[in-house]
Copies of this chain bind each other. A is one copy, B any other.
Amino acid sequence: MALTSRERVRRAAVKLFATKGFHGTGIRDLAQAAKLSSASLYHYMGTKEQLLAEIMLDCLQRLLDAAARELDGVDDPVERIGRLVTLHVTTHARQPNETRVVDNHVDVLSPRARRAVVDVRDTYEQLWSDAIDDGLRSGVFATTQPAATRIALLEMCNGVARWYSPRGPLTLEQLAAHYVQLAHRALGVPDMRR
């Protein structure tokens, strides 16, 4: 089924911003990839930067929503971190372009747009912080640097978008399971729990 022009623009932008960077992507590249004239592009977007900001906000919001759904009703911190890692890694593996755009383009945004993006991201990362804090409080996690560990884990998981290929030796499930193990180990979850 044919995509709408609007959707074609969006997909073209995601792919190109991810692979060539925002500044490395010209409006003409976008137009060509979306099979539109560069003038027509402007029926479906504001400025190039607004297009970027929309993509970033959108992806982040969807991640946040999905995370909230995953965590709904789950109390065990080990399980919660496991679900966050699984979701994060899976998302980065399945949508490497979207996530690379989100993860690498914060600095490009104007202050106003950056604020909005960072706010959503902070809300999302708070889910990680909360889970880690809970685990520490309950004694199931053991680390002296919860903040650094959280960031380290997030960076580690973000990296998946840069290297994972479904055509490689790992299935998505294996990949996610391995990263969950890495996270649990990093947080000092005792072996018997795993």
Contacts and interface: CB of A to CB of B under 8 A. Distances in A.
A162 interface: yes
Main secondary structure of the interface of A (DSSP, over half): helix
A75 interface: no
Interface string A1-42: 000000000000000000111111000000000000000000
A155 B162 contact: yes
A30 B41 CA distance: 22
Contact of A153 (B104, B147, B156, B162): B156
A148 B178 contact: yes
A108 interface: yes
Interface in A31-67: none
Complex copy number for this chain: 4
Interface string A149-166: 101111110111011000
Interface stretch (A76-84, A110-118, A126-134, A180-188): A180-188
In which size bucket is the chain A interface? 35 or more
A144 B149 CA distance: 22
A24 B39 CA distance: 20
Contacts of A162: 155
A170 interface: yes
A142 to B, nearest CB: 10
A107 B156 contact: no
B159 A155 contact: yes
A182 B186 contact: yes
Interface in A68-119: 104, 107-108
Sorted from nearest, which 5 A-B pairs have the closest CB atoms?
A155-B159, A23-B23, A156-B156, A23-B24, A185-B185
9 contacts: A19-B107, A20-B107, A147-B169, A149-B178, A151-B163, A155-B159, A155-B162, A185-B185, A186-B186
